[in-house]
Structure 1
């Protein structure tokens, strides 16, 4: 995996912290119209930095897991957009009745966030395990080059 530089690593960490703060405060109904934007900015930072961390190897399993991780990043950002909609009810006027809006859109950010977090945890651990196994197979002369 391509390693992020110090600035990118800091942005990645800041994005993750902003996501946790935003989702936690939003779930506990604290200043929802502000913290939804904090979460969305954090999700955009987190997702962008993770997409920049590319895999340069040839293992098809790691490439597949990296694509799944990108899907999880997309779900993080989409959950942020739904969180903003939940705070401001932007899409409510697009539906003919309030019941349909409540059934289809309202509070669905929680589901997307849960799916994204599960995908993220799974892919992170699998990629880490596969890269460690790949590194163990390298001869000692190539290990020193990395």
Structure 2
């Protein structure tokens, strides 16, 4: 794996911490109008720095896992967007022309950021551990 520079590593860590802090503050109903933006900015920073960490090898499994990991990054960003929508209701006027429209709005956006965040976190954990395992296996097979 191509290692991140020191600045990129700091931004990566800061993005992850900001994303978790924003999600936690929002979930515990603390400063929600600010917490949703923290989550979104953190998710963007985290996903961008994660995409900069490239795999330069030829193992197909790791390449596939990296693509799946990028899907998790997009899921984090989408969860942040849904969280902002849940806090500010920017799109609600578009949907509230009828009762069915409001029902659709609620079923699409109302607290569904939690589902996106959970799915993305599970994918992220799985791919992180599998990539680590595959990299160890790759290094041990090249050493012998």
TM-score (ref. length: structure 2) = 0.94
Q: CA deviation at 1:138?
A: 1.5
- Give the match for residue 88 of structure 2: 88
- Give the match for residue 141 of structure 2: 137
Aligned length: 140
Unaligned runs of 5+ in 1: 141-146
- Give the match for residue 124 of structure 1: 128
Distance across 2 between alignment mates of 1:37 and 1:105: 16
Distance across 2 between alignment mates of 1:66 and 1:78: 18
Q: Deviations over 1:9-60 (max 9, x none)?
A: 0000000100111000000111111111111111011000000001000111
Alignment of 1:1-146 (within 5 A): 1-95=1-95, 96=97, 97-139=101-143
Distance across 1 between alignment mates of 2:143 and 2:15: 37
Q: CA deviation at 1:139?
A: 3.0
Distance across 2 between alignment mates of 1:83 and 1:139: 47
Distance across 2 between alignment mates of 1:90 and 1:30: 20
TM-score (ref. length: structure 1) = 0.93
Q: CA deviation at 1:98?
A: 2.1
